[in-house]
Structure 1
Amino acid sequence: MRLIRLFPDDSKFRFVRWRVLSFPFSAFITVTTVVLFLTVGLNFGIDFTGGTLMEMQAKSGQADLATVRSTAHSFEVGEVEVQEFGQGGQVSVRFRTQPGGEGAQSALVQKARAAFESNYEIRRVETVGPRVSGELVQSGTLGVVLSIVSVLVYLWFRFEFNLALGAVIGTLHDIVLTVGFFLITREEFNMTSIAAILTIVGYSLNETVVVFDRTRELLRKYKNIPTEELLDLSINSTMSRTVMTATTTALSLLALVLFGGQAIQGFANVMLFGVVICTYSAIFVSTPMLIYLGVKTSARAAADAKAEADAKAAQVGA
């Protein structure tokens, strides 16, 4: 029985030559991201800006999240997070910090109480201040930095220096473009977003390592072929697996985007974008970057070294 192939096994597509377009495109998006980050900034959610948390218990025993969410949004006070937790109709509603200080925040709490207390028992109202939000920012940033350092250590032992550096560049590229997604779409950036970025780091590393493993194998097998040809061979030989992984993951995430509901939609949107970017990066950024990082077959490297030595000798003789 012949297996389904989303990409032909004997393909000879010249992926690496498209670096003349992919590199300028990625550079443009990276610069745009940096400019937007410095001028506009991220759309931080309640976790980072502070706000008010209200926990309620449905008197009927069954919470109607759609009604609670629509009622909360009707207050027109910015982003509102509505989630069900525990069992028996428990609901949490989070409002971000309102302009106007404690008076505006207290007025919002009273308005929410009046709207919900007929159907829900208000069990807890808690304000998350700027201090707690600052600690969350530090913890989230530290988590991302430590994950990147861990990736560096892993790649250092897994590959030789040039391949490891290429994988690191690809991973950092994917993180920057993911942050760009938050900046351009104004998607709320919260603790769930940190989890999405860490997941994308893992997915990016997985995609890149698969191609680079094949590259290392082919470097030992083929001693004297052009670097571009060898890299194209690496990508083509792993493309079937790359397309299958990206397609199945994207379809799962698309289902979450369409049917997962508002509570998980933000995470699903970021992850779906991340899958596309990581696949693009592994093929059109990380692998072509190896050309400029000096990755060569042993015979080709020896020939280049001999040519350089001959050129120096000729200069000395002249």
Structure 2
Amino acid sequence: MTTTAKIVDFMGLRKIAAICSLVVLIVSVGSLAFNSLQFGLDFTGGALVEVEYSQAQPLNEIRATLDKAGYEDVVVQTFGSPTSILVRLAQDHTSTLGDEVLGALREGADQPVELRRSEFVGAQVGDELREQGGLGMLLALGIVMLYVAFRFQIKFSVGAVVALAHDVLIVLGIFSLLKLDFDLTVLAAVLAVIGYSLNDTIVVCDRIRENFRKVRKGSSEEIINLSLTQTLGRTLVTSLTTLLVLLALFFFGGELIHGFATALMIGVLVGTYSSIYVASNVLLMMNVTREDLMPPVKEEVEVEGEERP
């Protein structure tokens, strides 16, 4: 294989990458098995307290006051106006909870605070919906596998699905390991990670197929290295611009979107890695060859008694 551009030997590190991925996956699955996920109020339900300040109060100061009072897993947000504050707590609602929260807020505030309401909040995601969501995700992976197999080849579909499962398990494992809250916004981020990773993998697979058909000399490893080198610039630019947006959301988007930005940042980094080392590594393990990707030759059938043009 001859080319004037310098080709990065990505696949030269494929065994090290495979070992690293395997170790991280084992840790992630182990954490999910023993620690599970720290489900937020969307999954578990809890209590909601609404208070009214006479003047706007910084949310971080309210949150710090409640943390100091011993309330854990608290979500603080404005409701309609800067002076109306909603406090969501991951604990059972009691008849005295509103007064207790109000007392803690009054101690940490230099202005009047009034209690508007205190009530129980049910889980937005029940056990049945959770099971249906899991089945839906498995169905989606199956459809992705069929699509990639139809567009490329069955070996590419296996590589794409392995890369997607790799990314999702690592994102969930990190949330489990660090005991970060898993709510509906994080679930939405996990689904977005699947879309991002699949798009990146499809671009790489498309270039690999193109080079297998175009480049006449070179081993499978060399052709994959060439394809990854050619798509590296696009992959890095896409990842970096996406990360810049996510960093802005992480630091300035507020508490409600914090988990979403965190999950997507992890997913973008892992997805970029998997499109280079996981999907391509699986292709080499399955011994992909030029013959697998060559278009089928149409056989001409000569009908007896007819003259060929």
TM-score range, shorter chain: 0.7 to 0.9
**What are structure 2's unaligned runs of at least 5 residues?**
295-309
Cα shift at 1:89: 4.0
| Partner in structure 1 of residue 68 of structure 2 | 74
AA matched with 1:113: L
1:303-314 equivalence runs, <5 A: none
Tell me the C-alpha RMSD between the 2 structures.
Answer: 2.7
Cα shift at 1:67: 2.8
Cα shift at 1:150: 4.3
Give the length in aligned residue pairs.
287
| Partner in structure 2 of residue 3 of structure 1 | none
From 7, 29, 54, the equivalent of 1:12 is: 7
Rounded Cα–Cα distance in structure 1 between residues aligned with 2:172 and 2:182: 9
**What are structure 1's unaligned runs of at least 5 residues?**
1-8, 302-318
AA matched with 2:147: Y
| Partner in structure 1 of residue 151 of structure 2 | 158
Rounded Cα–Cα distance in structure 1 between residues aligned with 2:292 and 2:270: 34
Rounded Cα–Cα distance in structure 1 between residues aligned with 2:35 and 2:158: 31
Cα shift at 1:64: 3.3
Higher helix share: 1
Instruction: Tell me the TM-score normalised to structure 1 length.
Output: 0.80
| Partner in structure 2 of residue 25 of structure 1 | 20
Q: 1:42 to 1:132 in 2, by over 3 A?
A: closer
Deviations 1:74-96 (A, max 9, x none): 23132111122444644321100
Rounded Cα–Cα distance in structure 2 between residues aligned with 1:26 and 1:141: 23
From 70, 78, 90, the equivalent of 1:96 is: 90
Asked if the contact 1:47/1:136 (under 8 Å) is kept, the reply is no
Identity %: 36
1:137-148 equivalence runs, <5 A: 137-138=130-131, 140-142=133-135, 144-148=137-141
Instruction: Find out whether 1:226 has 2:215 as its counterpart.
Output: no
Asked if the contact 1:49/1:97 (under 8 Å) is kept, the reply is no
| Partner in structure 2 of residue 295 of structure 1 | 288
Rounded Cα–Cα distance in structure 2 between residues aligned with 1:54 and 1:11: 62
Q: 1:82 to 1:270 in 2, by over 3 A?
A: same
Cα shift at 1:283: 0.8
Comparing 45-54 with 172-181, greater Cα deviation is found at 45-54
| Partner in structure 2 of residue 193 of structure 1 | 186
Q: 1:243 to 1:300 in 2, by over 3 A?
A: closer
Deviations 1:116-175 (A, max 9, x none): 587455444331357964355345535544543443343243322111221111111101
Asked if the contact 1:50/1:133 (under 8 Å) is kept, the reply is no
Q: 1:90 to 1:251 in 2, by over 3 A?
A: same
Rounded Cα–Cα distance in structure 2 between residues aligned with 1:296 and 1:189: 42
Cα shift at 1:219: 1.7
